Amino acid sequence: MLINNDTIIKDSDPLIRKPSEKVSLPLSKEDHELLMNMLQYVRDSIDPIKAQELNLRPAVGISAVQIGVLKQLVAVSIDYGEDGKSEYALVNPRIISHSVRNAYLKNGEGCLSVVNEHEGHVFRHARITVKAFDALKNCEVTFKVSGYEAIVLQHEIDHLSGHLFYDRIDTNNPWKEDSEALVIE
């Protein structure tokens, strides 16, 4: 399946607001290929040459609903440079616990499916524990993440319920701050 900026479902499409269905395990060949193609999109999207050649918008994550497939599939690739890389190809991910403390990106969030600017702070949990089937490891996993990685995973998992990042922005005070929150630059 070709995944590029032209095939990404935008927020004007009602499909983006539909909840995604759980995926049967073991993973079918079709679902595995789809998830690996999603991961490859994210990997390629941060390479300026590939991004231009393939018509990709930069991303650190993508959910299957964003390509019109209502399945609980999420791919994330975060490159920390010399500090390494975190990659996930998750099936049926769910947050099983989280911190009370909030976190947010200082400049707000963006999304492949959102063309128009939606400015404001998006409050999320600073730490989460996720349970899922990891297609890269080919097993069930439970893992903890914090900070930026937690925000990215919460953003993608929100897509599985039909929620977009700007649903979490306070319309009366979009740049509201939380002195107790972890602010990520």
DSSP 23: P
- Residue among 98, 97, 78 at smallest CA distance from 86: 78
Please classify residue 59 by burial: count the beta carbons closer than 10 Å to its beta carbon, then call 0-12 exposed, 13-18 middle and 19+ buried.
buried
Residues 155, 95: Cα–Cα separation, whole Å = 12
- Residue among 23, 24, 72, 61 at smallest CA distance from 39: 61
Our answer to whether residue 156 is catalytic in this structure is yes
Residues 80, 64: Cα–Cα separation, whole Å = 24
Residues 104, 144: Cα–Cα separation, whole Å = 17
- Residue among 128, 111, 64, 113 at smallest CA distance from 91: 64
Residues 68, 81: Cα–Cα separation, whole Å = 31
The catalytic residue among 82, 140, 156, 185 is 156
Residues with a catalytic annotation lie at 156
